[in-house]
Structure 1
Amino acid sequence: MRTFNTRAAALAAAAATAVAVLSPAPAAADVPPGQRGRVVDAKALAGTAALPSASANRLVSYTSQGVNGRRITVSGTVSLPQGAPPRGGWPVISWAHGTTGTADVCAPSASVPGGPVDDYVSITSAYLDRWVARGYAVVQTDYEGLGTEGGHPYMNGESAANTVVDLVHAARRLDHRIGRDWFAVGHSQGGQAALATAAARQRTGQLNLKGAVAAAPGGYDLHLTVDYIRQQLPGAQYALAFLPTLITGAEAADPSIVPEELLTDEAIATLLKAGRTECTARHREIALTFPLDKVFRPGADLAPLTAYLRSQDPVDFDLRVPTQVVQGTADVLVSKATTDLLVDALRDGGEIDYKVYQGVDHRGVLDSSFEDSFTFVEKLRGDRHPGGTR
């Protein structure tokens, strides 16, 4: 997500009193389980998100449960392996993508060569193609509000976990050859989503969540973003690159957070506009030249924004299934120091396999970690570990 130094990570650890992100919505607001994971539409998929080694790639829309327990429609993709499925059906990789933005044009399923998120989706598709080539059905959610109605509640763990699991339900309804055993795998923003999925409460017995893989997971230090920018600390320019996504995502999760009340007129015209209409690569370009002292409106009450970001911190997750975390030492977006502290905290509440790759950066960790992650997942498939059911 951002470059924060070791001192900042230590501050994050000391300050991590996050409210548990996976607290269920009031029962009256919950979408009935039978309505979740229903296929709304399905058609052939083209573009960057289609996996070359798949026998079929489908663009789907399906029902899920969003923030505040409301029923939502989500878009995503389903890619099937070649050949006949094994007994019990193909195992599933449910992929949670990294930060692309909150505007509808940033939905990975809509990515095309040269498009606004192609620089990222082309890399993740190459990674996921290795899974489908080895016999895994691969499903990829766009998350709530990316390419579909409503805003995208960026880094909201509960919403992300719901969309990750409900796409597996939808895929099994779409093709009966897809099995019950599945794994949550994600990168960056999606690393937090994979951890949230691994910690989420059980919902049904129709699926068997065997484990999770989180690559360079974000979220641990989000609540430091505001202070980093205001105090112009080292790494503040990286933090600013994510502010358009953070603030529009917080607004989507909690409408009482109004970006126009927090940002200067200059920031509204530049940063906020970009957050609502453009994707992460463009946000990075803008952040390089935007003055840090012109971001927040003088006297603005930033406490609700900071509190929301803190509430999505994965530090207090109690993981219900074995989880692998992979991290590169040359990552300047999610630092190894930050991930070290997150893993130490997660080990108190779950089974963690932590792999570190020397000289590997934020996106490079996907290719570098594939064989270790494949071995980790294959072992869990072979074990009679009960996993979790959702």
Structure 2
Amino acid sequence: MMCARIMAGAAGVVISVGVALAPPAVAGTGEAPGTVTNQVELAGRFRVDGAATAARLTYWSRGPRGPMQSTGVVYVPPGPAPAGGWPIVAYAHGTTGIADQCAFTLEPRVYYLDSLYPELLRAGYAVVISDYVGLGTPGTHPYLDGPSQARSVIDGVRAARAVAPELSTRWAVLGQSQGAQAALFTAHLGPVDAPELQLRGAAATGPPSNLDLLLPLAGPWIPRLPLEKTPAYVAMLLAGLRASAPELDVDSYLTPIGEDALRVVETECVTEANARLADVPIGAMLARSLNDPALTSAAREMMRIPTDGYTIPLFVGQGVTDMEVPPPLTAKLVAELTASGTDLETHLYPGDHLGAARAALPDAVAFLRRVLDPV
């Protein structure tokens, strides 16, 4: 391992089933962020060794333009809670897709159920996972919308504490890939958004950053790139923008191939979508340049990870052979965080997107202990 600090995320494989996208749900009186509307005890393969209880929650959160629902899962360690309650690690997952059946907690995922969650439970933390708004709930998931993903995570912690009073107000967030972006936005927004909670730190591995700077360069001239899943990622981003900001007229930027690509990602999860779109050049999807002020401004609000103003420690990890989140993009992020005086721990790992995330786990857990455990 080379010292620096970066982590990565990966999407799991899910079964593809076509679903109709419903309009966003409308919150009624008293349905504040974190309000739980449904709770189901988990059984079978969704149980985790070392968890005394496991429940799937539906709760109110906040999308790009108002209330939306999210789902998530809470795992609580066995035995009596320590003084002040079980500290919480909110896990922000990597890209699964934007179709409803792609919700992270709907499909058993071996690495997380057998390795990641048990490791966190053994360390003495309750584990809370959010699916993010629009995944398995009404509305389209706004892919890579950092603020709304962060609010899904924050409100998931609120929801977990509402059903499990033995949980502490002390918490941290751990995320990979898309979830790493969510973790960093959570670190920036959380202390002000949820002052009743004590957010202590954020660990992010393989965070997709600086993508808003690349968007103005995109147009019909872009060839097939030697990266992983890029056409599917671009299609999901544009589909999310189309749903959350219809005034941008995203369809006017698309060729017939691009329109088909958006239909693919709106009905299939990322593994299946990538299989269908892997050989489609980004340029073939675009009828004209994306360098439009309204579009680039909206993308910047969604995707630009803040590089200053953090009040809690951060951990960033990166794989040196990552072909989904290229290391140079993370290097720029780390340099800017360092220049702003952020309390930052960084690591480089000799692996790809998923391999680096797994290699980073011992360092990430050590970081969580440093920020969460009593002195």
Give the alignment's TM-score, normalised by structure 1: 0.81
In structure 2, what is the equivalent of residue 123 of structure 1? Answer: 111
Q: 1:32/1:132 Cα in 2 relative to 1: closer, same or farther (>3 Å)?
A: farther
Instruction: Write the distance in 1 (CA, Å) between the matches of 2:355 and 2:97.
Output: 20
* 1:53 counterpart SS class: coil
- Counterpart position of 2:140: 151
> Counterparts of 1:68-87 in structure 2 under 5 Å?
68=65, 70-87=66-83
In structure 1, the gaps of 5 or more residues are: 1-29, 113-120, 385-390
State the partner residue of 2:131: 142
**What is residue 342 of structure 1 aligned with on the other side?**
333
Aligned counterpart in structure 2 of residue 165 of structure 1, from 134, 154, 157: 154
The alpha-carbon distance between structure 1 residues 199 and 315, as it changes in their structure 2 partners (threshold 3 A), is: closer
Structure 1 counterpart of 2:284: 294
The aligned counterpart of 1:351 is: 343
- The whole-number CA distance in structure 1 between the counterparts of 2:46 and 2:246 is 31
Q: Counterparts of 2:326 and 2:342 in 1: how far apart (Å)?
A: 22
1:132 corresponding residue in structure 2: 121
Structure 1 position 195, deviation (Å): 0.5
- 1:360 matches 2:351: yes
- 1:273 counterpart SS class: helix
C-alpha displacement of 1:184 = 1.1
Deviates more, 1:308-317 or 1:133-142: 308-317
In 1: Cα distance, 2:120 partner to 2:147 partner = 26
CA contact (8 A) 1:47 1:111 kept: no
Paired with 1:109 and 1:55, the residues of 2 have a C-alpha distance of: 18
Aligned to 1:323: 314
Counterpart code for 2:103: A
CA distance in 2: counterparts of 1:47 and 1:333, whole angstroms: 33
Instruction: Answer yes or no: is the 8 Å Cα contact 1:262–1:300 preserved in 2.
Output: yes
Amino acid at match of 1:314: I
Structure 1 partner of 2:187 = 198
The Cα offsets for residues 232-271 of structure 1, whole Å up to 9 and x where unpaired, read as: 35736643231121111212331223343221113312x1
Further displaced range: 335-344 or 258-267: 258-267
User: Is 41-50 or 327-336 further displaced after alignment?
Assistant: 41-50
Deviates more, 1:258-267 or 1:339-348: 258-267
SS, match of residue 231 in structure 1: coil
Native 8 Å contact 1:153 1:249 kept in 2? yes
Question: In 1, are the aligned partners of 2:31 and 2:60 still within 8 Å (CA)?
Answer: no
Amino acid at match of 1:276: E
Out of 47, 62, 76, the position equivalent to 1:65 is 62
CA contact 1:94–1:164 (8 Å) conserved in 2 = yes
Shift of 1:225: 4.6
Check conservation: 2:215, 2:290, Cα contact below 8 A: no
Identity of aligned residues (%): 30
Q: Is the 8 A contact 1:66 1:72 kept in 2?
A: yes
Aligned counterparts of 2:242 and 2:45: Cα–Cα separation in 1: 29
Alignment RMSD (CA, Å)? 2.6
CA distance in 2, matches of 1:31, 1:334: 39
- On the 8 A contact 2:187/2:202 being kept in 1, the answer is yes
CA distance in 2: counterparts of 1:65 and 1:158, whole angstroms? 9
Deviation larger for 102-111 or 328-337: 328-337
SS at match of 2:58: strand
Number of aligned positions between the proteins: 345
Distance 1:218 1:202, change over 3 A: same
CA contact (8 A) 1:64 1:71 kept: yes
The C-alpha deviation readout for 1:110-159, integer Å capped at 9, x for no partner, is 114xxxxxxxx433443233112322110000111111011111111211
Which has the higher relative contact order, 1 or 2, with Cα contacts under 8 A spaced 6 or more apart?
Answer: 2
* Aligned residues of 1:91 and 1:182 also touching (Cα < 8 A): yes
- Alpha-carbon separation, structure 1, partners of 2:53 and 2:85: 16
Q: TM-score, normalised by structure 2?
A: 0.84
CA distance in 1, matches of 2:337, 2:208: 14
Helix, strand or coil at the partner of 2:246: coil
